[in-house]
Amino acid sequence: MNKKTKLLFAHKLLYDIYFFGAIIIPFFAAKDYGVSVALTIAAVFTLATMAMEVPTGLIGDRYGHKASISLGVTLTGLGLLGLLITNSIIWDGCWVLVMAIGSALASGSDTALLRTVSDDFERDNRTFDYLKSVMLLLSFGAAGFVVKYLSMNIAVGLSGVLALASAIPLIFILDIRKEGRTEASFLKQITGLPSALRQVNSGISLIVLAGLVGSIMFSAAEVISSLNPIYQVDISWIGVIAAMTMLGRIVGTIVEKRLRIGYRPLLFVLVVIVISTVVIESSIIAGIVFLVASSVVAKMLSYRLVYRLSSQAPQSHIASLLSGHALLGRLFSAGIVILAGLFAGYGHFNYFFLAVGLILAVFGGYLAANIQNHKR
């Protein structure tokens, strides 16, 4: 592993110590907004990030991925710190918007920059993904205890400070993307996206299915955070449960390398597990087991889909296409969070998992079949 890759990993290590992700619903609920409003704010954040994904991906492709990531993590850190000094839904909404822009700027460009600086992209991309899962596991696991024994504000503040600090290692990376950076106008970049997508085998089905499966992981923090106000799960355990799902992602990354299972069998297993989570109403422990299991299978399927997309995407549009995948993931994730709020409002939160499972079965099954048919 070369020096530039190590510096990028150092950035990722700091950025992914993200306590806020595990306590987002309790944090906003504690401001007397209520669970429904807290879930709505989380959905707005997701939708705002989604809306900025492709524009910020184009920025990364045009002006450099390092610059895009640096600006993104700075805005994320400032947004988190801003949430600590306001107690108004309007101002909090503004800070959430700042965080959404920051998240979108970093999304996609980090993988694109890794592809540029790495000597072995497949190996380093797997390690990169593994590092993210480990850091989120540790931070999610500690988040509840930081809140319980220190305070909610300290947990959020630490996330903000570390996000700002994550920009420091990037300073020392020579962005060799310069010679490959596209000089085309934004209009030409946008109009060139369909052509770039056609260069990827089963490109449309691949990117949409990756977004759909990714939404299971994108929305996991909000779903798990909801267990605190809905089922009165202790705040310290919320972080532990979130950490367990992150551990599931790590296991999924490791197992995916060893098991070469087709898209459809993996999707079928994921559907069965998600639907089985309806038992959470009668058994919290069983529901948590299924939540963790779904993270393992979702990660296996998501990693394979995203790796195929990133390895086949043309260099001039790689960040744009990866951001497009993330855009769809956040769009579907926002829908999942809104759906969770609706079922929680009607007092039948467990049936939310049945609804998500059916959506995966019908829509995801159609997309997976297209990919399989293309391969044959």
pLDDT (0 to 100) of residue 185: 47
pLDDT at 197: 60
pLDDT score of 184: 47
Mean pLDDT of 351-360: 95
Q: Which of 64-73, 118-127, 293-302 has the highest mean pLDDT?
A: 293-302
| pLDDT at residue 376 in the model | 37
Provide the mean pLDDT of the chain. Answer: 83
Q: Count other C-beta atoms under 10 Å from residue 154's C-beta.
A: 14
Summarize pLDDT for 171-184 with one digit per residue, the tens.
888 645 443 444 44
Q: Where are the alpha helices (DSSP H) in the chain?
A: 3-15, 20-28, 35-63, 65-83, 89-106, 109-117, 121-149, 152-165, 168-171, 186-198, 203-218, 220-225, 227-231, 235-258, 263-276, 284-312, 318-345, 351-359, 365-375
Query: pTM of the predicted model, to two decimals?
Result: 0.71
Tokens at residue 180, please? Answer: 């490959």
Is a pLDDT exceeding 80 seen at residue 186? Answer: no
Is the confidence at residue 120, as pLDDT, over 80?
yes
250 — pLDDT class (breaks 50, 70, 90):
confident
CATH T-level topology, domain 3-172+193-375 = Growth Hormone; Chain: A; (1.20.1250)
In the numeric block, the tokens 């980090």 are attached to 110
pLDDT tops 70 at residue 320: no
Give the tokens for residue 151: 């305070």
**What is the band of 193 on the pLDDT scale with cuts at 50, 70, 90?**
low
Give me the mean pLDDT over the 32-38 stretch.
80
